[in-house]
Chains A and B, each alone.
Chain A
Amino acid sequence: TQLLEQSPQFLSIQEGENLTVYCNSSSVFSSLQWYRQEPGEGPVLLVTVVTGGEVKKLKRLTFQFGDARKDSSLHITAAQPGDTGLYLCAGPYRGATNKLIFGTGTLLAVQP
């Protein structure tokens, strides 16, 4: 069974701090996606990583896909209150087209 475990589960930090969220699996994924979900809204896609070792930057957010394509990380530099939300990684089910498995989620709160 493919599982995506995220850590930490909860994170509360002060504005300006840096943080890293991890997404780990024992299975290989052909690609991974990261979503952010703000309170009362649906998840919004941030990035898709597709190559082992790939690093993508989106302003203050840096995404990395592990060399073995079993894990990924999201690093936020100088967090702001607007970064508050639930961060989700997701990857395609092996053998099932058009179906994603979502990670367990990391709830981030950035205090002003």
Chain B
Amino acid sequence: EAGVVQSPRYKIIEKKQPVAFWCNPISGHNTLYWYLQNLGQGPELLIRYENEEAVDDSQLPKDRFSAERLKGVDSTLKIQPAELGDSAVYLCASSFGQYNEQFFGPGTRLTVL
């Protein structure tokens, strides 16, 4: 079974530039998450999808961040414009099972200069 796929793995941009991250979850997993993770800390939820519906986006900075999950499969997270403080790892995960155990992709490490 293929795992969660994310691309790109690394991205370096200058501040005020746009950036987009892509995620393909495990087949059959209806719940998809985007997390932000700072070095040495636990992931923080940005947005959660149930199929194509964003059911929890309370932590998403909507002035600059947007996300979509067309057809309830792949998802894209966008930042426009990026700020220095956005430098972090962006993780995508999908879940399955009674206890909502999560399967993570390798993440995208974003550096904003």
Chain A residues near B (Cβ < 8 Å): 4, 9-10, 31, 33, 35, 40-45, 48, 50, 86, 88, 90, 92, 96-100, 102-105, 107
Residues of B within 8 A of A96 (CB): 56
- Contact segment of B12-20, B68-76, B80-88, B93-101: B93-101
B interface size (C-beta, 8 A): 24
Chain B residue numbers with a CB within 8 Å of A33 are 99, 101-102
The answer for the CA separation of A42 and B109 in the assembled complex, in Å, is 11
Closest chain B residue to A45, Cβ basis: B101
24 A/B residue pairs, CB under 8 Å, sorted by A: A31-B99, A33-B99, A40-B107, A40-B109, A42-B93, A42-B106, A43-B102, A44-B104, A45-B101, A45-B103, A48-B101, A50-B99, A86-B40, A92-B99, A97-B100, A98-B48, A98-B95, A98-B100, A99-B48, A100-B100, A100-B102, A102-B42, A102-B44, A104-B42
Fill in one digit per residue for B50-79: 1 if any A CB lies within 8 Å of its CB, else 0: 100000100000000000000000000000
- B residues engaging A (CB < 8 A)? 4, 31, 40-45, 48, 50, 56, 91, 93, 95, 99-107, 109
Q: Which residue of A lies closest to B42 (CB)?
A: A102
**Are A107 and B42 closer than 8 Å at their CB atoms?**
no
Q: Report the minimal beta-carbon distance from A108 to chain B, rounded to whole angstroms.
A: 11
Contacts of B42 in A (CB 8 A): 4, 88, 90, 102-105
Interface centre among A31, A35, A90, A100 (most CB of B within 10 A): A100
- Our pick among A42, A45, A100 for the contact of B107 (Cβ within 8 Å) is A42
In the complex, the 10 A-B pairs of residues with the closest C-beta atoms, listed nearest first: A42-B104, A102-B42, A105-B42, A48-B99, A98-B31, A43-B104, A31-B99, A98-B100, A45-B101, A88-B42
Residues of chain A lying within 8 A (CB to CB) of residue B104: 42-44
State in angstroms the CA–CA spacing of A18 and B29 once bound together. Answer: 37
Chain A proximity of B111: nearest CB distance (Å): 14
Q: Which residues of B contact A31 (CB under 8 A)?
A: 99
- Bound together, the chains give a CA A107 to CA B42 distance in angstroms of 11
